[in-house]
Every structure is written in structure tokens, then in C-alpha cells.
């Protein structure tokens, strides 16, 4: 399957170079995220990008290639696993794949120790797309969500990795508990992934911004829309999946 976000540089990277950057995020999710960023640009929503858990940069590079001139980015990781060399690999990938490295700040840090100013400072303003993919324990996720919320553009998006992953079932509970305390926020899209590991990403935004994204996603990707919505009690969210179907149990 060939994926298209509407941004040529991202589409080239995701379809031709994605596997050259070791990482965990799916091509499908990178394309949807870049499409959302392209849509933000068209709506005049400008701002920066940030990611916790940048690793070798697989998803960060897609986000960075979707930024506009003048927009900045912050990539945060402890860069300890599998060795500190991972930070050098990230830098080499960014250079090789045409990212504006001068606009990207790479922070070697445990997000637990960061304050919002550590992110909005280097970025120099609100963040319009924030990918949270760091420590996969519920307390850390709530902390990272607080950081992302504190720096987000009012119409921005927070994207969460590894939701519903069999290995991290309590992350979804943490998101639900966090949303109960942040009544202005909701999940507006669940991005499924290509393989058997059920680890979708959730995209969150403020309630009043949801309509900006939902209609556009349904129009842009009708073939990937799973008709039955994702049920969140007080609202529903779109589900995008590479293979929309009901499970066949034989």
C-alpha cells in the first residue's frame, strides 16, 4: 500500500526511506499525522512540534518534514537505549533525510524532570503537534500529557502512542483518567496500525477544535474509515485503519 499525506517530502520519506530509520511508529500513522499537520497549515494553525521518545527519529522526521519554514521542533529522549549512540544516529538521519536541523532542538532528558518552559523555550511558542511516546507507565504518561497540554496551541493536537497495546493496557486507563480531569479535551481520532500488535495512536484536541479535524480526515481517507465509531462515553471518535472490517471469528 502506498500512503499519501499531501506533503511530497513526507510521502517520499514514508514510502521510500521509512525502514532506513529503525523505530516503532507505523507508516500509516506517520502519514495521518503529516496530513493533519498539512491541514493545520491550510487552516492557518501555525506552531511548533515536539516529541517525547524520539529514539532514532522515525516519527519525528515525518513531523519535522511537515513543518513550515520558521516553525521549530523539540525532540526529547534519555538516549540511553540501546546505547547513547542513538542520539548520533538521530542526527545523521535528520541530515540525510533533509530535515532543517537548525530549527530542531534535541534534548537529552528524562521528561519526568522537564517543565513546560523546557519545551516552549527552545520551540519559542505553542506546539501544534505533540507526539508522546516516552515512558510507557501510567504515571509518566499523565506527566507527559500535562507537559503537552501546558504548551499546546489552542487548536493543536496531542498524539499518543501505543494505546491499547497488549503490553501496556493501563495506558488507556491513564488517558481516560486524565481526560476526566481535563474536560476541555477529547480523543478525536484513533489511528490503527498495520500489523497484529494492537497499538493504535490516539489524537486528542480541545472539544471546540475537533470539528476542524474530523470532517477533513473523513474526506481525505474514506477508504480507511471504520464505520463504527470509537465510543468514549460523552463523545465518539473516528477510527482510521488500513483495513476497515469487522473481525471475522471462525
Residues of this chain that interact with ligand SAM (CB under 6 A) are 23-25, 52-53, 55, 58-59, 76-78, 81, 110-112, 133-135, 140
Spatial contact of 205 and 189, defined as CB atoms under 8 Å apart: no
CB of 101 to ligand SAM, least distance (A): 18
Cell of 128: 501544534
Q: Which residue is nearest to ligand SAM (CB)?
A: 23
> Looking at beta carbons only, is 112 or 184 nearer to ligand SAM?
112
> Looking at beta carbons only, is 141 or 212 nearer to ligand SAM?
141
CB of 143 to ligand SAM, least distance (A): 8
CB of 89 to ligand SAM, least distance (A): 11
CB of 183 to ligand SAM, least distance (A): 27
End-to-end CA distance of the chain: 27
Q: How many helices (H) and strands (E) does the chain have?
A: 8, 9
**Distance separating alpha carbons of residues 47 and 41, to the nearest angstrom:** 9
CB of 136 to ligand SAM, least distance (A): 7
Sheet holding 48-52, edge to edge: 104-108, 73-77, 48-52, 127-132, 152-160, 201-206, 185-191, 236-240, 230-231
> Looking at beta carbons only, is 53 or 73 nearer to ligand SAM?
53
Q: What angle do CA 119, 125, 130 make, to 5 degrees?
A: 55
Cell of 65: 518534514
Q: What is the DSSP letter of 67?
A: P
CB of 188 to ligand SAM, least distance (A): 21
Closest Cα to residue 26, out of 149, 188, 191, 187?
191
> Looking at beta carbons only, is 100 or 165 nearer to ligand SAM?
165
> Looking at beta carbons only, is 54 or 155 nearer to ligand SAM?
54
Cell of 247: 473481525
Spatial contact of 91 and 101, defined as CB atoms under 8 Å apart: yes
Amino acid at each position: 500500500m502506498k500512503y499519501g499525506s499531501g506533503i511530497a517530502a513526507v510521502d517520499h520519506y514514508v514510502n521510500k526511506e521509512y525502514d532506513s530509520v529503525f523505530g516503532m511508529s507505523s507508516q500509516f500513522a506517520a502519514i495521518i499525522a503529516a496530513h493533519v499537520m498539512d491541514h493545520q497549515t491550510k487552516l492557518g494553525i501555525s506552531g511548533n512540534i515536539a516529541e517525547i521518545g524520539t529514539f532514532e527519529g522515525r516519527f519525528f522526521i515525518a513531523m519535522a518534514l511537515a513543518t513550515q519554514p520558521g516553525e521549530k521542533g523539540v525532540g526529547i529522549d534519555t538516549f540511553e537505549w540501546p546505547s547513547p549512540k542513538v542520539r548520533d544516529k538521530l542526527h545523521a538521519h535528520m541530515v540525510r533525510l533533509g530535515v532543517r536541523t537548525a530549527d530542531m532542538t534535541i534534548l537529552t532528558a528524562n521528561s519526568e524532570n522537564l517543565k513546560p518552559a523546557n519545551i516552549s523555550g527552545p520551540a519559542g511558542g505553542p506546539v501544534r503537534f505533540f507526539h508522546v511516546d516516552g515512558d510507557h507507565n501510567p504515571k509518566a504518561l499523565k506527566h507527559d500529557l500535562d507537559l503537552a497540554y501546558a504548551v499546546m496551541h489552542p487548536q493543536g493536537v496531542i498524539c499518543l502512542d501505543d494505546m491499547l497495546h497488549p503490553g501496556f493496557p493501563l495506558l488507556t486507563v491513564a488517558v481516560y483518567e486524565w481526560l476526566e480531569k481535563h474536560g476541555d479535551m477529547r480523543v478525536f481520532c484513533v489511528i490503527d496500525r498495520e500489523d497484529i500488535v494492537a497499538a493504535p495512536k490516539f489524537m486528542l484536541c480541545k472539544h471546540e477544535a475537533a470539528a476542524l479535524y474530523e470532517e477533513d480526515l473523513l474526506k481525505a481517507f474514506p477508504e480507511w474509515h471504520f464505520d463504527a465509531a470509537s465510543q468514549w462515553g460523552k463523545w465518539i471518535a473516528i477510527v482510521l485503519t488500513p483495513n476497515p472490517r469487522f473481525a471475522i471469528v471462525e
